[in-house]
Structure 1
Amino acid sequence: MTYDPTGHLLLTPVDREAPARVQRLRQLGFGERPDPAFDDFAHKLADVTGAPYSMVNFIDENRQFFAGLHTPGGMHSGTAGAAVAGGEVSRFMARDHGYCPHVVVRRKALVLEDVCDYPRFAGNPVVDEIGIRSYLGAPLIDRTGIALGTICVVDTEPRPWGRPGLETIKSLAAELIEQIHRREDGGV
């Protein structure tokens, strides 16, 4: 783990699995371009949870890529840059922004009903820059044992996700991993 020497807040964790993840993502053909099937899955995440933003997120050594993305207005950009710029949500975000890198390294789902209640997470740049107040995410661990990324939903308001939210996001992550495996095996 790394620490901010001025505030001693926990920053993005060290990700020793990143090189193997990048190789696996390349093998699968994920992480470089939007995918309509992942966009559809992100829409499903939003529908099931009632969250305004949802993502299928693949993570490499330096950035996160939202191969699947749902936003309230359906607006998003394929270019790199700030997560929110000119009313559009980018499909790229720095690795040190957000909570998905923590989920990938922990290899466990994460429920933050109000990120401001957790000093470890409240200082994350997405709180001030984007206004994220609530997060629910689960890792996408494939058949090789590699955490490819996450599925997640976020809101600009605190949300009482609770145990039902946790079980829902874990179940949806398992569903998406099955889809990824069928795709890799040549199925639909």
Structure 2
Amino acid sequence: MDKGERNNIEYQRIKKLSELDLDYRNLQEEFQSLVELAAHIAGTNISLINLIDNHSQWTVSSYNFELFEIDREESICQYTIQSENAMEVQHLGKDTRFKDKPYVKEDGFKYYLGFPLMVETGESIGALCVIDYQEKNISEEKKKLLRLVADEIVKKLENKMKLDVLQDQLDRAIVQRNQIAHDVRGPIGGILGLALSAENETLEQSEFDLYLEMIKSSAAKLLDLTDDILERQKEQLKENYFTLSEFKKHLEDLYALPALNKKIDFAVVFNKEKNHYSFPRKKLLPIAGNIIANAIKFTEPEGRIAVNLDIIDAKDNVSLLIEVKDNGKGIPKEKLQNLRKTGVLSERGTNDEKGYGLGLQLVIEMVDSIKGMLTIQSEENKGTTVKITIPIGSH
């Protein structure tokens, strides 16, 4: 297999993971029972679900171990996802790939068994692994059970994506229902007002009084119904929408620690005056995440990365602005000119991090898919500024 074929396979793999549009920090509880089951089947101290993107391995759910993020090239599971079969290492300290890793030398991990998390289209997006401080002898029957657990994890992840698609359709239906509710409120309010006015007049016919009371009661109930429709619509939309402050928190939760590990000053700011806007979260985390991960990779220790989140409130439309600015290596002029054509930067990072070179290509494709715009300004040895604007609605 030549380099081009390998790059294409890897690109399709990280693209599939991005399409799942997962929030890595909110999956622990959802998969807790499955990682615990895996550890009990294997009889190991630790069980992890690791997802592997362009730069990092993210532990999204774990048993008997804290969630963490490490550079992809430092992980064991990067080898597991290269095959359809399970990978077993009886003694990590005797394997030249892992014997010098901190989790082997300092934490004393010895045994590893990992199963690739392969989606139905054939890409491995990560691994289910069990780890122990002692060597283990796990039977073939238990390995079959662990494979079933891995398959169940994949099903749940893919079902989340399918539910997101259905939620998008539901959101559109809710917007229509919302409009109906607003349309209905007007005439109903008029009926209620008429009934109240008539009630205050001197009337001789008791039957007419009763009739007016019925009108008032019916109109009030209908108003309550429309209020309920609107309130439920707000709650359902909230789960799939961000405000600027919520977006900031998610980015900090995901990338503050990787930046800190490299001693990079990482800050996310947002326009507090525009925090009343809400916008769809779809694709925002993989888009911003790939840009920030790239900035961390190509920025020297003690460097700076600033992320600015804002709302551009133009005359005819409203857009979300994501700006990521670093003072890192920068991009050579000739590569910057060809970036939209190739989308590939394959250089190693400032700490010699391995360059997979596909993150920007994926970002460009995702931004285009949601009708956004991406611009890059960069100068060698002075840094890079990436600006992304994404339409989120109109006035």
Measure the CA separation in 2 of the matches of 1:102 and 1:176. Answer: 19
Match of 1:33, SS state, is helix
Q: Which amino acid in the other structure matches residue 153 of structure 1?
A: V
Q: What's the TM-score, normalizing by structure 1?
A: 0.71
Partner of 1:30: 22
Match of 1:135, SS state, is strand
Describe the shift of the 1:52–1:169 C-alpha distance in structure 2 as closer, same or farther (beyond 3 A): same
Describe the shift of the 1:108–1:164 C-alpha distance in structure 2 as closer, same or farther (beyond 3 A): same
Measure the CA separation in 2 of the matches of 1:64 and 1:34. Answer: 16
1:138 partnered with 2:115: yes
Measure the CA separation in 2 of the matches of 1:143 and 1:161. Answer: 27
- Work out whether residues 55 and 66 of structure 1, in 8 Å CA contact, stay in contact via their aligned partners in 2: yes
Which residues of 2 match residues 1-188 of structure 1 at below 5 A?
Answer: 16=7, 17-30=9-22, 32-35=24-27, 36-71=29-64, 76=66, 90-186=67-163
Describe the shift of the 1:46–1:159 C-alpha distance in structure 2 as closer, same or farther (beyond 3 A): same
- Work out whether residues 41 and 142 of structure 2, in 8 Å CA contact, stay in contact via their aligned partners in 1: no
Measure the CA separation in 1 of the matches of 2:107 and 2:160. Answer: 34
Measure the CA separation in 2 of the matches of 1:130 and 1:154. Answer: 11
Cα offset for 1:183? 2.9
Describe the shift of the 1:157–1:112 C-alpha distance in structure 2 as closer, same or farther (beyond 3 A): same
Describe the shift of the 1:147–1:26 C-alpha distance in structure 2 as closer, same or farther (beyond 3 A): same
Cα offset for 1:182? 2.9
Deviations 1:82-114 (A, max 9, x none): xxxxxxxx4212212232110012232112222
Q: Which has the higher contact order (CA 8 A, sep 6+)?
A: 1
Identity over aligned pairs, percent: 22
Structure 2 alignment gaps of length 5 or more: 1-5, 167-395
- Work out whether residues 21 and 161 of structure 2, in 8 Å CA contact, stay in contact via their aligned partners in 1: no
Match of 1:96, SS state, is helix
Q: Which has the larger radius of gyration?
A: 2
Cα offset for 1:163? 2.4
Q: What's the TM-score, normalizing by structure 2?
A: 0.36
Match of 1:185, SS state, is helix
Question: Relative to structure 2, which stretch is displaced further, 118-127 or 136-145?
Answer: 118-127
Describe the shift of the 1:162–1:44 C-alpha distance in structure 2 as closer, same or farther (beyond 3 A): closer
Deviations 1:24-74 (A, max 9, x none): 222212263230212332122222222221111100122100111111xxx
